[in-house]
A = this chain, B = another copy of it.
Amino acid sequence: MSSTKLESKGDATKLHLLEVGAELIHQQGFNNTGIAQILKSAGVAKGSFYFHFADKEAFGIAVIDYYINRFSTLLEPIFKDQTLSPYNKISVFNQTFSELFTKNGFCSGCPIGNLCQEMSGISPTFAAKLNVALARMTSAFEQVIAHGIHVKEFKAELNPSTCAAFLVDSWEGAVLRMKLEKSVKPLENWFAFMKEMLLVV
């Protein structure tokens, strides 16, 4: 077997561990998910885990990168779609995630929001990485809001930066109540207030 093949087999194992771990952590939280359970669910040996990750914290940080990439994969086609106005981009974003949440029974919520809640107070390493994740998410919305102001769809007096931060924060809060109420209603309510906040009357 060539070293390239070996490397790609290793990469596939690493990705498989991340996929399985990301799902478990999303459902149960980080502290509630043990390495043993990840290994068992993934069907991977302990040695292979420690070949790829120094410890459980390093694995958690890699899982956040995995979440960031998955979020970008869902968000980018919407935000880059030139047939959608800025307002419709935000609407399609909310619809897309509402459908995803509905499909999984509203149980898991936003994996980034969950980890912010669970880990940012107790681990500076997690907090730093989650800050990057939330900043990327906010920056994507900031661009959409700035564009909306530019094309006069959104109110001229809005500050794209503070407005994007509020948009993301309030969405995370709506996702929290959605998990609790097992209903898409908080996300619909969020969007009604976003419409009021953003659109030129």
Contacts and interface: CB of A to CB of B under 8 A. Distances in A.
A28 B130 contact: no
14 contacts: A29-B29, A29-B31, A32-B122, A107-B121, A113-B117, A120-B180, A127-B182, A130-B180, A162-B192, A165-B186, A166-B190, A172-B176, A173-B173, A197-B197
Interface of A: 27-29, 31-32, 106-109, 113-114, 116-118, 120-122, 127, 130-131, 134, 162-163, 165-166, 168-174, 176-177, 179-182, 186, 189-190, 192-193, 196-197
Given A116-B180, A169-B176, A108 B134 contact: no
Contacts of A32: 31-32, 122
State the copy count for this chain.
Answer: 2
Interface residues of A, dominant DSSP:
helix
Given A109-B117, A166-B189, A177 B134 contact: yes
B176 A189 contact: no
A109 to B, nearest CB: 6
Given A27-B121, A117-B117, A174 B173 contact: yes
